Amino acid sequence: MRTIKYNNKATEVTTLCDLLSKLGYNLIVSDSFTLQVDAAVKDFQYKNNLVVDGIVGIKTWSKLFELSNITTHNDKLLSERDLMEFANEFQLELACVKAVNEVESRGKGFLVSGKPKILFEGHVFWRELNKRGVNPSQYSNANTANVLYQSWTKKHYLGGDGEYARLQKAIQINPSQAFQDAAYCATSWGCFQIMGFNAVSIGYNSIEEFVQKMHLNEKEHLTAFGKFLKTNNLIPYLQNKDWAGFAYRYNGSGYKANKYDEKLANAYKKYS
């Protein structure tokens, strides 16, 4: 893990937040090294007889991993062979596949706890309940406000294992199967953050099968990504290196603001 400090924005910061959260620090898990993260790091360093400078280098990383008592989950990670097989299957350049993997997977598909990375979307949960003949308004109150709402907002995001707490809260609103299925469908899963509501349309027998597969390994995440690309006719955009066309169809109209097309183009140049 590289050295990081306040104001850095990197995938390593997400791992740092995961580890600190596991150790009891109340943090929003993200890739931004905020003042809140800085305060947690300094508190951790102070309590563990480390230099209190807020800089997460080899000594702080070592102590974090030692106290977290986690496994590395190496058996769940993508390999070079996995990416090569994917490239051959979809007739894509390996550099192209690696570029998409770098930009879209954001570095990992599993949390330090061993669970697949997820993000729960309360506005999609509202929509999915409606699809199942459930009136969401009947269950909308102060207690459910952070998991059930009509319009998109990121203010309720917690990141990391906190998203599992939100997912479970949504499921427990009502014991019916409809609520579990709707909640799973309202969640994005794994390396490539495929929304659960795509499960059946891209070839899974049910949302339950899709979720089970997402818990296995990152290769299953890559398989789901391939199914999504094929179903939505996105392969030609990657074959033609049409990064803007791909980013628009995969990330939505906000891709420009996040420079997804530029990131893909730059990553492709690096790997090619």
Please tell me the distance from the alpha carbon of residue 175 to that of residue 155, in angstroms, as a whole number.
Answer: 26
Say what the pTM is. 0.79
- Closest to 115 measured CA to CA, from 1, 211, 184: 211
For 185-236, the pLDDT digits (tens) are: 999 999 999 999 999 999 999 999 999 999 999 999 999 999 999 999 999 9
The pLDDT of residue 157 is: 94
Please tell me the distance from the alpha carbon of residue 231 to that of residue 174, in angstroms, as a whole number.
Answer: 33
Do 4 and 56 form a contact (C-beta atoms < 8 A)?
A: yes
The pLDDT of residue 61 is: 92
Region 99-119 average pLDDT: 85
CA Rg value for the chain? 20
pLDDT at 96 over 70: yes
Q: How would CATH label the architecture of 11-68? A: Orthogonal Bundle (1.10)
pLDDT at 70 over 70: no
Strands 118-120 and 187-189 turn out to be: antiparallel
pLDDT at 71 over 60: no
The pLDDT of residue 156 is: 97
Contacts 24+ apart (CB under 8 A), 143-150: 144/169, 144/170, 144/173, 146/122, 147/120, 147/122, 147/173, 148/122, 148/173, 149/122, 149/123, 150/123, 150/126
Higher pLDDT, 223 or 71: 223
The pLDDT of residue 165 is: 94
pLDDT at 72 over 60: no
Domain locations in the chain? 11-68
Do 12 and 112 form a contact (C-beta atoms < 8 A)?
A: no
Q: Give me the residue label for tokens 């917690």.
A: 158
Region 93-101 average pLDDT: 93
Do 30 and 159 form a contact (C-beta atoms < 8 A)?
A: yes
